[in-house]
Homo-oligomer: A and B are copies of this chain.
């Protein structure tokens, strides 16, 4: 079981803070935007006497609200297709455990959300990585590259769209390619769409459920964490039209009894929030993205593609080892008593040695703080002993 690349440096960060240093958190996808007021009000107005178990599949009214929400995106799923989980994390875990036997393989474009590997290990499954390259802006690898990895043990493809960690948004053409692969080899398509609200191209969002002819193959992963800035609630969902898969998933759901009650109540209220809330979030992230990417590419030796979705980017730095650089920033560096916490990208790659000079940066800080963080990065690179610029 690997350590989380996002959280493993936390002790160093805690130590820096204990020394009175200001640490800018670019490492974790914890939005700083406010949770919808309706969600907070719903929590304050709970008038239950007993905080009891909810149904294992989630509260019906929440599932109904979710179905309505998906319909707005032309994702035509029924209430019965939706199972509420303890965050997207549990949804991925249950999806893997329900669809994959030990030894089964899934193909995942890398870099990928690091915990997919942890969840695959729990299911005894094996991730076969297919490299998406920074110099190609992390576009989907060619169809033939996928086919090279397909064996009799291949059971599925996992995508995250828009992507964490790269911010890449799959094009219509790429989604069609995925559909063709899934159909040709009758694979599961695990589609993590928790960043659906954050697509910056102007084109309509393409969900895995929009792909024709593979309706029974799609397992959609969702979460309210990112879009409503309520990561702490731990409310996600697994959505599939495949009854046999749902039957398996429900066994795991029943074993863990129920998803968190209060979180469900708050999530349901969030779904009633006006469109304005999401529009404000959207505008804020677009503006931060432009500011961050521009700032990164102005630093000597740093390169970041322009992410079209989510609120992350994977940037290339002029350092020999980004893991060491990220540790060094927390334990040995300060600029005006400030430092930055970034996630080394190596943890998002399954292939050893990949992403060694890359970091994931989450733009979950306001522009003033992002500006200060950029300045810290620039100053750090000037003096970092492992810089590759002065060799």
Interface-side segment among A32-40, A170-178, A311-319: A32-40
Instruction: Choose from B93, B102, B266 the contact partner of A51 (Cβ within 8 Å).
Output: B266
Of all chain B residues, the one with the shortest Cβ separation from A232 is: B261
Minimum C-beta distance from A50 to chain B (A): 5
Which A22-46 residues have C-beta < 8 A from chain B?
28, 30-35, 39-40, 43-46
A330 within 8 A of B: no
Query: Using Cβ atoms and an 8 Å threshold, which residues of chain B touch A50?
Result: 31-35, 229-230
Question: Taking each of A8, A43, A89, A90, which has the highest tally of chain B beta carbons within 10 Å of its own beta carbon?
Answer: A43
Query: Using Cβ atoms and an 8 Å threshold, which residues of chain B touch A55?
Result: 10
Contact B30 A53 (CB under 8 A): yes
CA–CA, A187 and B124, complex, Å: 24
Contact A260 B263 (CB under 8 A): yes
A202 within 8 A of B: no
CA–CA, A87 and B256, complex, Å: 8
Contact B124 A255 (CB under 8 A): no
A204 within 8 A of B: no
Query: Using Cβ atoms and an 8 Å threshold, which residues of chain B touch A18?
Result: none
Contact A232 B52 (CB under 8 A): yes
A388 within 8 A of B: no
A243 within 8 A of B: no
Contact B257 A260 (CB under 8 A): no
Minimum C-beta distance from A340 to chain B (A): 19
Interface-side segment among A159-167, A246-254, A287-295: A246-254
Minimum C-beta distance from A34 to chain B (A): 5
Q: What is the oligomeric copy number? A: 2
Contact B49 A35 (CB under 8 A): yes
- Interface of A, secondary structure class, is loop
Query: Using Cβ atoms and an 8 Å threshold, which residues of chain B touch A10?
Result: 55
Minimum C-beta distance from A289 to chain B (A): 20
A231 within 8 A of B: yes
A127 within 8 A of B: no
Minimum C-beta distance from A298 to chain B (A): 30
Contact B262 A4 (CB under 8 A): no
Interface-side segment among A114-122, A147-155, A214-222: A114-122
Query: Using Cβ atoms and an 8 Å threshold, which residues of chain B touch A39?
Result: 51
Instruction: Choose from B43, B254, B257 the contact partner of A43 (Cβ within 8 Å).
Output: B43
CA–CA, A93 and B90, complex, Å: 13
Among all A-B residue pairs, the 9 with the closest Cβ atoms: A232-B261, A4-B254, A118-B255, A260-B260, A262-B262, A51-B232, A51-B230, A1-B251, A89-B256
Binding site for B on A (CB under 8 A): 1-4, 6-8, 10, 28, 30-35, 39-40, 43-46, 48-56, 86-87, 89-90, 93, 97, 102, 115, 118-119, 122, 124, 229-234, 248, 251-252, 254-263, 266
12 A-B contact pairs sorted by A residue (CB < 8 Å): A1-B252, A32-B50, A35-B51, A50-B230, A54-B232, A86-B234, A102-B124, A119-B255, A231-B257, A232-B262, A234-B257, A234-B261
